[in-house]
Amino acid sequence: MSRATITLPNDLLEELMQVSDAKSKTEAVIKAIKDEIRLKKIELIKSMAGKMDFTINADEIRHGDERLG
């Protein structure tokens, strides 16, 4: 883990702590960062919708993999 010094507006940080139910400023910021990363990943996945071609279907995958029975 690394340390970083950042300057944040107090009112923004207090609001973040309230809406995230965080017990500390650090916890609030970590939750916000994780949420932002998760949202960006979701956006990326959604942007790929309809752009991928699958050559096999789920049944073929399921029955073609011995681990899945």
Closest by alpha carbon to 8, among 25, 31, 30? 25
In a domain, 58, yes or no: yes
In a domain, 3, yes or no: no
Kind and range of the H or E element at 41? helix 25-47
Closest by alpha carbon to 17, among 6, 25, 5? 25
| Least confident interval from 2-6, 14-18, 28-32, 58-62 | 58-62
In a domain, 34, yes or no: yes
Check whether 5 has a pLDDT greater than 70. Answer: yes
How many distinct structural domains can be found in the chain? 1
Alpha carbon distance 13, 32 (integer Å):
10
Which residue range forms the structural domain that includes residue 26?
10-68
Mean predicted confidence (pLDDT) in 34-54: 89
In a domain, 5, yes or no: no
Check whether 4 has a pLDDT greater than 60. Answer: yes
